[in-house]
Structure 1
């Protein structure tokens, strides 16, 4: 199972997530890095995990307080020559909102600075998504769907939330099972919600998110059938022996 590190952006800084209670998020303080500057934190996370995939949540965009397009472009250009895949959740409501942000980031990246080799993958979260057709329209970008949960319940503004669980035809090949109240909580992964989604997901690749405390949690997550798990706090706090546990 792959460990995918998480970088949360708010007000131009990398912040530490806490149970999805975003008013409590503060600039990251981490033994991995002496600063909360996003590029430095991103480099530290990739080095600590030995992976070339990074999940970024643009909380400014999700909270409708302004996205981090320029910062994201600078971050993508600054991650070096090795290919890196960035999974970006920026509160998209539909495909046009996603495409608009991606286009702006690309314009900035191709300015006076030579663009880096990082590539963007859109993550559509049910917390903000209003149109399930967005996943089909974004097929060329290999989109990821995040099924966002709190207290075991799906968070969604979709017009027909009751149809979202039985109808999985619109789900793409990669799906994140996100439990926001487990993020940064050190209370363990929400394997019950993960199992419920796995029962519906068919052959899709499932990625868990939230709650990982130590290597035993990673083992339990791997045994549950997860292809990967999104992790932040346990990496920053050096509770995982990575990169030796980056793949189980």
Structure 2
């Protein structure tokens, strides 16, 4: 099972999640780095996990306080060969497309100024649509048609699915990858929410990859998470605190 490190951005810093209670998030204190600067932390997380994928939650955008466009453009330029899964609270395809265009334009402007790498060396942006923000389900089809391979985050709190709009409760409209996001477990050491992942895995079409999130404490939790059939798990705190990491991630 793949470990996917998580970067939460707020007010220009990487912050540490606290059970999904975003008002309680503070700049990260990590054993991997002496700073909360996003690029430094991103590189440390990728090195610690051995991953080629980085999940970014732009909490400024999700909370409608402003997206971290400059930071995202800089991360994309500095992390060639990386897939960046970006959750920025998209309500629809248009809002996603607009943000991606702003990141692209900022990156081009900066590359001309700084003699940065060409476009083909940039990290790949992959949109993550969270049910707590998504109003238009057609956004998933539109993003897929545009070749962006969208991911759906099924956002849960207190055992309930959080939704910004009504939608079909079956898996018929799900894309090829879904995240079982249990916000209560994010930034906690209560253990992973295996039951929700198993339930979503059972409901999903055979070709759908299910990704878990939150609660990982140690290698045993990683093994238990893998037994649910999850293809990957989003992890932050356990990496920052060195409870898991290279070479442990190689054997999970």
User: Smaller-chain TM-score range?
Assistant: over 0.9
| 1:102-141 alignment, distance < 5 Å | 102-111=100-109, 112=112, 113=114, 114-115=116-117, 116-139=121-144, 140-141=147-148
CA contact (8 A) 1:55 1:230 kept: yes
User: Does the 8 Å CA contact 2:78/2:122 hold for their aligned counterparts?
Assistant: no
Is the aligned partner of 1:41 residue 2:18?
Answer: no
Gaps of 5+ in 2: none
**Partner in structure 2 of residue 208 of structure 1:** 212
Give, in angstroms, the shift of residue 157 of structure 1: 1.1
The two structures have a TM-score, normalised by structure 1, of 0.95
Q: Residues of 1 paired with 2:172 and 2:96: CA distance?
A: 21
Residue 11 of structure 2: aligned partner: 11
- Structure 2 distance, partners of 1:217, 1:77, is 34
Query: C-alpha displacement at 1:245, in angstroms?
Result: 1.9
> 8 Å contact 2:171–2:205 — kept in the other structure?
no
Residue 149 in 1 paired to residue 122 in 2?
A: no
Correspondence 1:87-102 to 2 at 5 A: 87-102=85-100
**Secondary structure at 1:138 match in 2:** helix
2:233 paired residue number? 229
SS in 1 for 2:249: coil
- TM-score, normalising length: structure 2: 0.93
Check whether the contact 2:48–2:245 (CA below 8 A) recurs between aligned residues: no
| Residue-pair matches, total | 242
> Kindly tell me: are residues 28 and 129 of structure 1, through their superposed partners in 2, closer, same or farther at Cα, counting changes over 3 Å?
same
Larger helix percent: 2
Q: C-alpha separation between the residues in 2 aligned to 1:241 and 1:76?
A: 23
Q: Secondary structure at the match of 2:97?
A: helix
Deviation at 1:100, TM superposition (A): 0.2
Moved more, 131-140 or 112-121: 112-121
Structure 1 unaligned regions, length at least 5: none
